[in-house]
Structure 1
Amino acid sequence: MSKKRPVAVALAGALCLVTTACADSSTDAQAPAGDKAAAATSGYPVTLDNCGVSEKFTKEPGRVVVMNGASVAEVSTLLALGLQDRIVANQQTYGMSEVEGRAAAIKALPTGEVKLNDAYDIPREAMIGLRPDLVLSTTSYGFDEKNGFATRAQLKDVGAGTYVSPQGCDQDTSKMTVADSYTLLRDMGKVFNKGEQAEKLIAASQKHIAEVSAKVAGEKQPKVMVLFSNMTMGGNDFSSVVAKGIYNDILAKAGGSNAFENASKTSFADLSKEKVAATDVDALVVIGYNDPNPAAYAKTLLKEFPQWPAAKNNTYVALSDSMYLGPSNDLAVEKIAKALHPDKF
């Protein structure tokens, strides 16, 4: 029942350094008056300081490649901004979503029809052949030459901009929060001249989360086990258990806490069955990554550990992309809060 993924290390999103939209003074000084007027109207040029690399965009990218990275954060963000027509190759999919129509919309995107490497992603030669002007990667892993990928410098040489998502610079996603999802939205809004739309999405998400959090404020925080459905990342029986990262921020906003937060210093814990059995678990959150039935997996675990309060109360939530870096974290907050504190809704 397990699924081994070579890119399990990339199950997270990416630390972007502080990003700014600004004009390049030397370029502007040399630009004709008409070009400067067009730039002022469009908001270009836009410069992002991304993982120590300065990326300048003088117009909206028209040929975007979205790398796999075991994520849907980047493709979902583009879809939320209405940019699906810019994507020439997408390798991200969960096969499901809390947002109606999103899974089908992702499935309908072009893949570039390239032969993927052993990490289920786009190798260097194929990437160059796609003629991108922007390549999005969940972490810096996607631009590592040792992994057979095109580097950011190599892509720049062929006219392609690159972007690593928040908390992905050093591939350490343990400090990721919901705010990083907003950073990703805001950055893509700048790059594609969709800043106003991005801010509206961020404001709506913040408002929704604040309303839910207010309902559960002051309540006892149940201990929640978060794990990926039917996925193996290590050597123990439970190697896809979440310890840290954006998941904990979502739990806190929903009025819960992570039962295994101290089980690892990194994002994921590799736990024995005995350790899991000895921990009081008040609720389960099972994340379906290309698993068609995470709810069935949750029910199996509740039967396996009948001593858990979660099993006695049949308390679980099956989620997919909303529990992850991306534009829909507010949906996860609401669904988890309703499961943990049903009397408040």
Structure 2
Amino acid sequence: MFTRTLSRVALSALLLAGSGLLAACGSDHAASGGQAQDGAAGYPVTVDNCGFQQTFDKPPSRVLLLQGASVGEVETFLLLGLGDKIVANAQYYGVSDIPGMAQRVDSLPKGGLKLNASADVPAEQALALQPDLVVSTWSGGFDPKFGFASRDMLQQAGIRSLVNPVNCSYGKPKDVTAAERDAYTAASTTSSLDFITLVGRIFGVPDRARELVDQLRVRMDAVAQKVNGQPKSKMLIAFPDMGMMNANGLPAVFSGNIYDSVVRAAGGEPAFPNGGWDLTSNLSAEQLAAAPVDVLVIGAYRPGEDLDAEAAKLFAAYPQWNASKSKSYVKVSDGIYLGPANADAIEQIARVAHPAAF
């Protein structure tokens, strides 16, 4: 099992990288972070990614996936059948809403990586692996102030780099555009699908990417049809194991952007709509007590967490919630973040919130 020390920098990346998603797909959105134009034969493929333009003459074959407190990127590679292109993967939770996915991620090569104090791959190790592509969930994964290799440094070594386009503005040292900021603050599960499409273009498997996107969209649309017209349950997303991110020792409560998108896709409404990062870090016990909660969405970040026990603790602490009275809760993990597991989480949440519709 790949072990790692979770720093505040890395956990911040998880919370915020998951919150910056594009509102819709299409060339206008892709152009701000990951527009690709390819010739008649498929290659070369030129990508303008966060203002960093690169040309791919062939599919990358030695990929390093930086940690960034994310699994959305590695899961995308696996679902596209590109696991054999990964020379080293630093992304790992040990839990997933996609059945069997945690085991698949854990079986990928680790490349002997030792993460630095910022909980990601230091520059010297990234260069020593001699990858031909390094992928980060956020621009901060290429910031030298955290000990990481910059995109310029990698380019000088003949190594291409890729940031999940929705997170271009997050951690970008300079030259952040208004379009990048807007993409980051907008929210939709569609951004998870946009990244699948981009990876498919770069690796020469656009049909495979289109098929995966279509499958995930069909599943999410099916849920939308079933919950259409149903009462909108108020939902609270809480991750007890991330309590260190709250100054008051409360569970991390996720709100805004991708989190609200997942909740709404499941036929609910967030208890703290558009709460954002400030809510997650500064939520008070009084605010939590007063929140309208019909369904508790309780999340696991690491394997071995007893979410049933954690839900019981929250119900005992906040007996006034409707969810506490009905004992209504659903267990999730990676599906509420940026990545292809969104459909799985949406299905799970919707079944608990609207059992009669299923």
SS of match in other structure, 1:230? helix
Corresponding position of 2:230: 219
Corresponding position of 2:175: none
Corresponding position of 1:188: 199
1:242 and 1:261 in contact (8 A); partners too:
no
Which of 13, 21, 28 matches 2:36? 21
- CA distance in 2: counterparts of 1:283 and 1:72, whole angstroms: 25
Judging changes above 3 Å, is the alpha-carbon distance between structure 1 residues 234 and 269 closer, same or farther for their aligned structure 2 residues?
Answer: closer
Shift of 1:176: 3.1
Q: Which runs of 5 or more residues in structure 2 are unaligned?
A: 1-5, 22-29, 171-180
Q: Percent identity?
A: 40
2:35 and 2:48 in contact (8 A); partners too:
yes
- CA distance in 2: counterparts of 1:102 and 1:296, whole angstroms: 24
Shift of 1:162: 0.8
Corresponding position of 1:278: 290
SS of match in other structure, 1:326? coil
Shift of 1:80: 0.4
Shift of 1:40: 4.0
Q: Which residue identity lines up with residue 204 of structure 2 in the other structure?
A: N
Corresponding position of 2:158: 159
1:215 and 1:344 in contact (8 A); partners too:
yes
Corresponding position of 2:141: 142
Q: Which residue identity lines up with residue 260 of structure 1 in the other structure?
A: F
Judging changes above 3 Å, is the alpha-carbon distance between structure 1 residues 178 and 195 closer, same or farther for their aligned structure 2 residues?
Answer: same
> Which is further off, 191-200 or 5-14?
5-14
Compare the two structures and name the one with the higher helix fraction: 2
- CA distance in 2: counterparts of 1:84 and 1:210, whole angstroms: 28
- CA distance in 1: counterparts of 2:198 and 2:275, whole angstroms: 33
Corresponding position of 2:273: 261
Q: Which residue identity lines up with residue 224 of structure 2 in the other structure?
A: S
Q: Which residue identity lines up with residue 319 of structure 1 in the other structure?
A: V
Judging changes above 3 Å, is the alpha-carbon distance between structure 1 residues 243 and 322 closer, same or farther for their aligned structure 2 residues?
Answer: closer
- CA distance in 1: counterparts of 2:286 and 2:280, whole angstroms: 17
Q: Which residue identity lines up with residue 214 of structure 1 in the other structure?
A: Q
Q: Which residue identity lines up with residue 133 of structure 2 in the other structure?
A: L
Q: Which residue identity lines up with residue 320 of structure 1 in the other structure?
A: S
Judging changes above 3 Å, is the alpha-carbon distance between structure 1 residues 263 and 238 closer, same or farther for their aligned structure 2 residues?
Answer: farther
Matches within 5 A, 1:1-345: 5-11=8-14, 12-13=17-18, 17=32, 19-23=34-38, 40-41=40-41, 43-171=42-170, 173-231=184-242, 232-238=244-250, 240-264=252-276, 268-293=280-305, 294-345=307-358
TM-score by length of 2: 0.86
> Which is further off, 323-332 or 77-86?
323-332
Shift of 1:291: 4.3
1:225 and 1:281 in contact (8 A); partners too:
yes
Q: Which runs of 5 or more residues in structure 1 are unaligned?
A: 24-38
SS of match in other structure, 2:64? strand
- CA distance in 2: counterparts of 1:238 and 1:257, whole angstroms: 21
1:243 and 1:269 in contact (8 A); partners too:
no
1:238 and 1:270 in contact (8 A); partners too:
no
Q: Which residue identity lines up with residue 35 of structure 2 in the other structure?
A: T
- CA distance in 1: counterparts of 2:35 and 2:50, whole angstroms: 13
TM-score by length of 1: 0.89
Aligned length: 327
Shift of 1:300: 2.0
Judging changes above 3 Å, is the alpha-carbon distance between structure 1 residues 70 and 211 closer, same or farther for their aligned structure 2 residues?
Answer: same
Shift of 1:101: 1.8
- CA distance in 2: counterparts of 1:185 and 1:282, whole angstroms: 33
SS of match in other structure, 1:55? strand
SS of match in other structure, 1:7? helix
1:227 and 1:285 in contact (8 A); partners too:
yes
1:298 and 1:316 in contact (8 A); partners too:
yes
SS of match in other structure, 1:335? helix
Shift of 1:267: 7.7
- CA distance in 2: counterparts of 1:275 and 1:267, whole angstroms: 10
Corresponding position of 2:176: none
> Which is further off, 120-129 or 325-334?
325-334
- CA distance in 2: counterparts of 1:154 and 1:341, whole angstroms: 51
Q: Which residue identity lines up with residue 301 of structure 2 in the other structure?
A: Y
1:71 and 1:138 in contact (8 A); partners too:
yes
Judging changes above 3 Å, is the alpha-carbon distance between structure 1 residues 101 and 249 closer, same or farther for their aligned structure 2 residues?
Answer: same
